[in-house]
Amino acid sequence: MKTQSVEELMECMKSFSKEGYHKSELLSEMFALQQEIVELTFSGEHAATAELKIWDVEKHLEQLNEECGHVADEELQKFMESSKILCNLIKAEISGNRGEYKAFKTLEYLQSQNRVMRNVELSDGERRTELDALVITPKCLTIVEVKNTSKNILIDEDGNYYRTGEFLKWDCNITEKMAVKEELLRKVLESAGYGHICIRSVVVFTNNRIEVQNKFPQLRTCFVNHLAYVIDGFRLDENINADEIDNIQNVVEMAVCKEVYPFEFDARQYQKDFANLLATLEYAKAKLDVRDEPVSEEQHAKEECWNNGKAGNSFVSVMRKVFLPKRIRQVGGVVAAVAVTVVSGALVANVIDKGGF
């Protein structure tokens, strides 16, 4: 019964059915997975399941597991650990999209003639990277790396990127990361005869309430409200005309990587873990419901009669007591005494009638 339920639940989940995905597809696919988990968990109990999230599922299953006597502690723990990873991926994708939106809106204020390309994925067969934005102006090409974070940032002398707080948390070597982006873009330009074009990079922070310490002077950083000013401010001898700007854009578009890649999160295993957990809890809950099922009026009447019999108030019980051996002897003694009395009375009466005594 449980195995069948797991299979049925798995059949209901259609998200992440492909082997690979473009980055632009991931958020919608993660939302689809979340919605499937919610709907299968509550299955009509809530009218507005669209408003429920994975943490609502966790809370519900945790309560159900407690009601069922902790029959699925291990399965629940495994599901919750994977859910945390998935929720963090969703948050990161949402945060990144919001940050990029802010940056793209700011780029609308560029004074220079420009072309703005978004989310440019490049690969040379061994390495793969994404440019959050590529801005083409008459002076240069600018690679824009967008960071949307609530933590203060430290970029040390070696280009290491840290989120700061009570402890330093290393993220990556930002200078090496930006170098790969520039190298792959340079290869694309060289293949089309534009290897001489100047490339600049800037890391932009969309949250201007944080503090950024940049100790690597070769890397340009700024806040989002200064982005257009920084790009317009690149004063170089290069002069790219309008036709070249269009040609460079076409060359880059032709080079954009169209490959799909496996999702870094094992969504299929997560679905199996969820299905196994839900099936286990539903099976345990069903057994509890059967045990606690209300008794019908007819059954209640029968049980009441039997209980009364045990208490000694039913006719059957009374008759049982009457016909117990001890009771029979008692009744027999009484009957015998009455019979003796009757016989004795009759004999005395007979003697008197005959003139005796």
User: What pLDDT digit, counting tens, does each position of 237-262 carry?
Assistant: 778 999 999 999 999 999 998 888 88
Confidence at 287, pLDDT banded by 50, 70, 90: confident
What is the predicted pLDDT for the residue at 260?
Answer: 84
Q: How far apart, in whole angstroms, are the C-alpha atoms of residue 106 and residue 228? A: 6
pLDDT, mean over the chain:
84
Per-domain boundaries in the chain: 2-94+264-291, 111-255, 308-353
Q: Is the separation of the CB atoms in 270 and 84 below 8 Å?
A: no
Give percent of the chain with pLDDT exceeding 90: 66
What is the predicted pLDDT for the residue at 351?
Answer: 39
Task: Give mean pLDDT, residues 35-58.
Answer: 83
Least confident span in 9-13, 60-64, 351-355: 351-355
Confidence at 173, pLDDT banded by 50, 70, 90: very high
Q: Is the separation of the CB atoms in 263 and 21 below 8 Å?
A: yes
Q: How far apart, in whole angstroms, are the C-alpha atoms of residue 212 and residue 210? A: 7
Neighbours of 208 (CB within 10 A): 11
What is the predicted pLDDT for the residue at 170?
Answer: 95
Predicted confidence (pLDDT) at residue 102 exceeds the cutoff of 70: yes
Phi first, then psi: what are they for 43, rounded to 5°?
35, 60
Q: Is the separation of the CB atoms in 143 and 178 below 8 Å?
A: yes
pTM: 0.72
What is the predicted pLDDT for the residue at 48?
Answer: 67
What is the predicted pLDDT for the residue at 306?
Answer: 44
Which residue would you say has higher pLDDT here, 302 or 222? 222
What is the predicted pLDDT for the residue at 4?
Answer: 64
Predicted confidence (pLDDT) at residue 11 exceeds the cutoff of 50: yes
Task: Give mean pLDDT, residues 333-354.
Answer: 47
Which residue would you say has higher pLDDT here, 312 or 159? 159
Least confident span in 59-63, 151-155, 261-265: 261-265
CATH topology of domain 111-255: Trna Endonuclease; Chain: A, domain 1 (3.40.1350)
Question: Measuring CA to CA, which residue among 283, 248, 25 is closest to residue 134?
Answer: 248
What is the predicted pLDDT for the residue at 293?
Answer: 57
